[in-house]
Amino acid sequence: MRIATWNVNSITARLPRLLSWLESSDTDVLCLQEAKVAEEQFPFDPLRDLGYEAAVNATGRWNGVAVLSRVGLKEVVKGLPGDPGYDGVVEPRAISATCGPIRVWSVYVPNGREVDHPHYAYKLQWFESLKAAVAGDAGGSRPFAVMGDYNVAPTDDDVYDRSVFEGSTHVTPAERAALASLRESGLTDVVPRPLKYDHPYTYWDYRQLCFPKNRGMRIDLVYGNEPFAKSVTDSYVDREERKGKGASDHAPVVVDLDV
């Protein structure tokens, strides 16, 4: 079984590439982030033509998440129970579903913006709610994973130059402590470092030639419980999909399972 996570940075802009990638990658389950469309505008029909059902939590603004599956889709939960919301609004940043023998969450963790910004405090609160929401499945016997854009680089090795991010979000001790606390619920990072190259980044800014210069960050993660982690046979970042015209600024992260 092959599963993946991908921040597509607008499913409308990325649809031709998404459909092509689904066909060529032979992916069974894909967690998407930053759909940037309302649910009624989501491209259900072309995905259905490829054999994929879709569960979507999206309102058409800057967020939006989804789970695509060709191995079944049930027990869908839209939103994060206990979501603290931001500025009085609960944003569409999480969705979970059971796909065949596994259960997954697709999450788009708040960016945080700046360390002294209210969005940063919201980000840390959101992590607390995520931990509470996944605790039962994380400690269960069914293969389970929380996948998506975490907007945190777990270690200094997960950014191209730690000094560049000094004083910025994504690398602060509090954010990394939130990730560590999430892992303590029974989850582990199932995409090990190093992979097939020294720096398996998943995100490169569009500006300043960051991708050609490999100035990236590893912020798209797959955290699985013990039954999930024991089933992993391979994992990789599909860096090729970040290349060329019309690419997302994130690359897909792919995990193969024997379940």
Average model confidence (pLDDT) across the chain: 95
Cα 215 to Cα 163: distance, rounded to the nearest angstrom: 12
Active-site pick, 108, 120, 160, 201: 108
Cα 103 to Cα 105: distance, rounded to the nearest angstrom: 7
User: pLDDT exceeding 90 applies to what percent of the chain?
Assistant: 94
User: pLDDT exceeding 70 applies to what percent of the chain?
Assistant: 97
Active-site pick, 52, 83, 158, 250: 250
As given in the structure block, the two tokens for residue 15 are 């649809």
Instruction: Tell me the pLDDT band of 196, cut-offs 50, 70 and 90.
Output: low
Cα 67 to Cα 105: distance, rounded to the nearest angstrom: 8
Res 197 pLDDT > 60: no
As given in the structure block, the two tokens for residue 46 are 């072309």
| Closest by Cα among 165, 171, 173 to 152 | 171
Q: What element of type H or E holds 19?
A: helix 11-25
Q: Which CATH class is domain 2-257?
A: alpha beta
Question: Active site includes 250?
Answer: yes
Place of tokens 């199932």: 190
Res 193 pLDDT > 70: no
| Structure confidence at residue 200 (pLDDT) | 81
Res 194 pLDDT > 90: no
Res 195 pLDDT > 60: no
Model confidence over 64-122: pLDDT tens digits? 999 999 999 999 999 999 999 999 999 999 999 999 999 999 999 999 999 999 999 99
Res 5 pLDDT > 70: yes
| Structure confidence at residue 198 (pLDDT) | 58
Domain boundaries, the chain: 2-257
Active-site pick, 149, 150, 160, 223: 149
How does 135-161 read in b/e, with b if 16+ C-beta sit within 10 Å? eebbeeeebbbbbbbbbbbbeeebbbe
Cα 122 to Cα 112: distance, rounded to the nearest angstrom: 7
Least confident segment among 94-103, 107-116, 163-172, 192-201: 192-201
Distances from the Cα of 37 to the Cαs of 10, 124, 139, 173, 253, in angstroms?
A: 7, 26, 34, 33, 22
Question: Active site includes 117?
Answer: no
Model confidence over 217-246: pLDDT tens digits? 999 999 999 999 999 999 999 999 999 999
Question: Active site includes 45?
Answer: no
Binding site membership for Mg(2+): which residues? Answer: 7, 34, 149, 151, 249-250
Supply φ then ψ for residue 92, to 5 degrees.
Answer: -80, 85
